[in-house]
Amino acid sequence: MDRETILCTLNIKTMKKPGTQKKLGDCIHIITELKTEDAIAYLDQDDDDEVEEPYMTQAFATGRTFFLSLLGSIVTTIYFNQASLGFLRTIVTTVDSEDFEIGLNEQGFHFMASDSSFTAESRSGIEVRPSRAVMHRRSCIELLSVSESPLKDIFTATVYCLTPPNLVL
C-alpha cells in the first residue's frame, strides 16, 4: 500500500547533490506520510533498533514520518504548530482557558462530572457561596515537555543533529 511512497523517499535520500558527494537525504528534511504503521520499518533501513511500536522508531520520533491515523496526525500537527493545541483543547473540552471555565462554574453552568475534592475557593482563590462550592472537573489537554516533570524521569534520550555543519542550500 505504501510501496510508491517508500520507494520515492528512499530514492530522494540516496540521490547525490550535484557537484558534491553528499546525499540529498542528509541535506533535505523529508516528511513521509504512511497509510500503514508497519511500513515504517522500510524507511530507516540503517536503524538497527528492533522496536515493536512504530511510534518508538527514529523516523517517527524525529518527525520525518507520520501516519494517517487520527492520533498520529494530531500529534504531528501540534509538534509543528503549538497554536493548534488551543484549537484542539476547545474541540475536546469546549473550553480554551481555565479562567473561562471558572467563570462558567461560578455562574452555575456545569458541563462536567462533579468532584468534591476540589472547591472553587481552592482552585481560583475567589470566595463563592456554599451552594456553588463544589467544582466540576473537565478533561484537560496539555502539551508536556519530556525534559520536565512528570515525564523527566521516564524519558532519557540523546539528541542527534542530522544536519551537516556549514550546509548551504
Task: Answer yes or no: is pLDDT of 119 > 50.
Answer: no
Higher-confidence residue: 150 or 121? 150
> Which range marks the domain in which residue 107 is found?
86-137
**Is residue 100 situated within a structural domain?**
yes
- pLDDT above 70 (res 115): no
pTM given for the model: 0.38
Model pLDDT, residue 59: 75
| pLDDT tens digit sequence for 40-64 | 778 776 666 676 677 777 777 666 7
Collect contacts of 104-110 with beta carbons under 8 A, ≥24 apart. Answer: 105/132, 105/135, 105/136, 106/132, 108/132, 110/136
Whether 62 maps to a domain, the answer reads yes
Residues 18 and 53 in one domain: yes
Are both 12 and 57 inside the same structural domain? Answer: yes
pLDDT computed for residue 38 by the predictor: 79
Do 23 and 63 lie in a common domain? yes
* Residues 94 and 64 reside in one and the same domain: no
Give the Cα separation of 71 and 82 in Å (integer): 15
